[in-house]
Amino acid sequence: MSELEIRAARYRDTEDIVALWRAAGLTVPHNDPYEDIRFCRDSGQGEVLIGLLGGVIVASVLVGHDGHRGWIYYVAVHPDHQGAGHGKAIVEAAEVWLTARGVPKVQLLIRETNTGVRAFYERLGYADEPRLIMTKRFVDHTGWERRGEDEDAPAPHHAGISTTVTYLEMLERPTRPTVPAPSRPKVSLVRAKSPTVSFYRYLYDNVGGPWTWVSRRFMDDETLRDVITSPDVEIYVLWAEGVPAGYGEVNRGAKPGEVELTYFGLMPDYIGMGLGWYFINSMIDIAWASEPDRIWVHTCDLDHPRALGNYQKAGFKVFGQAVEREPDPRAVGLPFPASHRNGPMPPDGSDDRAGPGGGNDANVIPINKVIPLKR
């Protein structure tokens, strides 16, 4: 029997963990596995432990404590690797995690009808205790569970923000002349090769903060470093008189023949100074430099009200929309947008409400499939 390599999960492991849970039959409609992972890891009182064989995730456990007792959830072993003792190993790893933190007791919940799982835990020394479990679920106006009524409270387990995302593409390189840089302020666009995490966070947080960019705020430093130093990712900083005025990012490795304009935006102090048209067209020229078949971008109704129009003016064509959900911004210190307290603008555009700001951060959890639009 091969021995599991057990370690704490990282942000980049999320998709593989969710795939494991689905293969093991642990996911249910009323629990969002992505939010469960994020909430556990960001709480400071829990961890997702994973077991790997040959670098492949084959086992997991979500472990944490409430300040009094320990709890374990999502104990999973991939069906192809069950019966080899990996379940016992991952549970024991969770127990070690708890005892190392001085937690004197561990508990778990099992449906009474799940006799196979009950027998598994009994073999590991767990016993049934006569206790009555009482629960109460909080639901906010969006239909997502939350702990209380305070709109500014930290993000609860299943809180999130829904947004209408618009997908745009460009299938041919523009035939226009190169757009010149403005004469004032004097600007330069420079690639940041292997930027430090702290510098990247400065760019991301200041450009994206007003427009609810959150996905990379949830990344730990190690994971973010892997992303921004990938050979497929190029980051360009717009400098104005020696001061960072914005940044853009392209990803040449998402799919063969495609380049994604992943992030693009200006610092708040430089919006309205006439830099945007030069900047977006320069980033488009950079994206086309590798001669892809297609470049694409997505924006959402949290972006600057002119963001969608500017992308279209630059030559992008809309090819689809979807209502999607991203983590609650309050979990990383950003306010919940007032414009979205009653949900997102519908994909058909029937709501004439304008979004509050600019940027482009739709690394989100899909709720429904993209709605193709006529080209």
Cα–Cα distance measured from residue 229 to residue 223, given in angstroms and rounded to the nearest whole number? 10
Give the per-residue pLDDT at 355. Answer: 29
Average pLDDT of the segment spanning 99-119: 85
Mean model confidence pLDDT for the chain: 83
Which residue in the block uniquely carries the two structure tokens 């387990």? Answer: 157
Mean predicted confidence (pLDDT) in 22-41: 84
Q: Please tell me which residue, 374 or 371, carries the higher pLDDT value.
A: 371
Cα separation of 313 and 323, whole Å?
24
Pick 361 or 126 by higher pLDDT.
126
Contacts of 337 (CB under 8 A, 6+ apart): 161, 212, 302, 329, 356
Cα–Cα distance, 189 to 205 (Å, whole number): 19
User: Which of 49-63, 243-257, 339-353 is predicted least confidently?
Assistant: 339-353
Among residues 83, 90, 130, 128, which one has the least CA distance to residue 108? 128
Mean pLDDT lowest among 41-45, 295-299, 316-320, 325-329: 325-329
What structural domains does the chain harbor? 5-123 (3.40.630.30), 160-372 (3.40.630.30)
For 196-259, give the DSSP string: -HHHHHHHHHHHHGGGT--GGGSS-HHHHHHHHT-TTEEEEEEEETTEEEEEEEEES-SSTTEE
Residue 43 exposed, middle or buried by CB count within 10 Å (0-12, 13-18, 19+): middle
The residue among 230 and 132 whose pLDDT is bigger is 230
DSSP state of 289: T
Phi, psi of 32 (to 5 degrees): -90, 110
- Considering 64-68, 194-198, 333-337, the range whose residues carry the highest mean pLDDT is 194-198
> What is the pLDDT confidence band of residue 359, given thresholds at 50, 70 and 90?
very low
Q: What is the mean pLDDT of residues 145-157?
A: 40
Asked if pLDDT for residue 144 goes beyond 60, the answer is no
H helices of the chain, where?
14-23, 33-43, 86-99, 115-123, 197-208, 221-228, 276-288, 307-313
Give pLDDT, residue 114: 77
State residue 202 phi and psi, 5-degree precision: -60, -45
Q: What is the pLDDT of residue 1?
A: 53
Lowest mean pLDDT among 154-158, 216-220, 305-309: 154-158
Q: With beta carbons less than 8 A apart as the criterion, state whether 131 and 119 touch.
A: no
For tokens 């590991």, what's the residue?
A: 124
pLDDT band, very low/low/confident/very high, at 340 (cuts 50, 70, 90): confident
Percent over 90 (pLDDT), the chain: 51
- Helix/strand/coil percentages in the chain, nearest 5: 30, 25, 45
Task: With a cut of 50, say whether residue 274 has pLDDT above it.
Answer: yes
pLDDT band of 295, cuts 50, 70, 90: very high
Distance CA(194)–CA(225), nearest Å, equals 9
User: Maximum CA pair distance of the chain?
Assistant: 77
Whether residue 210 is predicted with pLDDT greater than 50 in this model: the reply is yes
CA distance readout (Å), 62 to 98, 105, 350? 11, 16, 42
Candidate from 8-22, 156-170, 225-239, 317-331 with smallest mean pLDDT: 156-170
* Per-residue pLDDT at 374: 39
> What pLDDT is recorded for position 170?
96
What is the per-residue pLDDT for 168?
94
